[in-house]
Amino acid sequence: MKLSPIVLFTYKRLQTLKQTVDALKANALAVHSDLYVYSDGAKSFNDEIIIAEVREYLKTISGFKTITIHESPINKGLASSIIDGVTEVINQHSKVIVLEDDLFVSQNFLAFMNEALDFYENNNKVFSVSGYGLKVAIPKNYNYDVYFTPRGMSWGWASWKDRWENVDWEVKDYADFKISKTRKREFAKGGTDLCEMLQKQMELKIDSWAIRWYYNQYKNKQLTVFPVLSKVLNIGFDEYATHTNAFNRYDTLFDKSNQQKYTFEPNAITNSEIFISFQSYFGYFQRIFYGRLVSPLYKLWRSVFIFL
């Protein structure tokens, strides 16, 4: 099995970046893997010092087969950084494993991602591999280490060149999509937030590569494979988070087993019981309860706690 390169995107989160790199290095396959790091440029003058500190740290990284560091002279933003960086690496290697600087991975993260990439490479129904897995209800007679959903996840993922290069980043058919109730309803099966995010993206109210990526998966009727036991923890819910600054409602069962071999579902189909459980995380109740009630209270508590 040819190992996939790892692509790591970072901005100004030095402490979580160190945790991400240290966790990656704890993987047995790290020393045999190529690491590409993309460091985005400062958005403002105030960020220049911390960006410089991040880049000094990047020079000290070891423990990988090769390490290639790209330092952007300008602030490209997360969406452009990921689209450009992944495209550059995937064109060289035909597949990639992608992380951001706020993700803590298990000791078997690289084993799982590489095994899944190899197993599903020729199955065009599979759009991507997620290293993160939600704490979903698993049927008692379910014998696989993975499950499928029509929605991707951007917290530690992998894919192949032939899937990535077909993504329409401009969403050229959006005018037809936005007036089709049927298509909106189908897309929303992956989460009640998806149509709203796509609309905001097309109105330039947000800058998200992920929502456009999810939309292309839906449009091509493809699936993402998730681990039953998550290989990733999001540790980015702090004051330096670019896109996450609230209570983390995405609870998960983190894999501490260091299992190296997996039983994959060969047919790439969704299990209805698991998918219903998965959907609950992206339903109106969860979004309203956590987004409008728990998260504001959590942020208020943190601000008071820090002040005291």
* pLDDT the model gives residue 251: 73
Which domains occur in the chain, in start order?
6-166+220-307 (3.90.550.10)
How far CA 23 is from CA of 106, 109, 169, 242, 252, in Å, comes to: 7, 9, 32, 21, 18
Whether residue 37 contacts residue 69, with contact meaning beta carbons closer than 8 Å, is answered with yes
Token readout for 235 is: 């540790």
- Per-residue pLDDT band for 245 (boundaries 50, 70, 90) equals very low
Q: Can you give the pTM of this predicted structure?
A: 0.89
Ranking 103-117, 134-148, 187-201, 274-288 by mean pLDDT, the lowest is: 274-288
Asked if the model's pLDDT at residue 301 lies above 70, the reply is: no
* pLDDT the model gives residue 1: 84
Q: Tens digit of pLDDT for each residue in 26-81?
A: 999 999 999 999 999 999 999 999 999 999 999 999 999 999 999 999 999 999 99
Q: Tens digit of pLDDT for each residue in 249-298?
A: 567 899 999 999 999 999 999 999 999 999 998 865 454 545 555 445 44
Cα dihedral across residues 226, 229, 232, 234: positive or negative:
positive
Full strand arrangement of the beta sheet holding 95-100:
66-71, 34-39, 6-10, 95-100, 157-160, 126-130, 223-227, 146-149
Token readout for 115 is: 């095994």
* pLDDT the model gives residue 194: 97
Q: Tens digit of pLDDT for each residue in 141-191?
A: 999 999 999 999 999 999 999 999 999 999 999 999 999 999 999 999 999
* pLDDT the model gives residue 47: 95
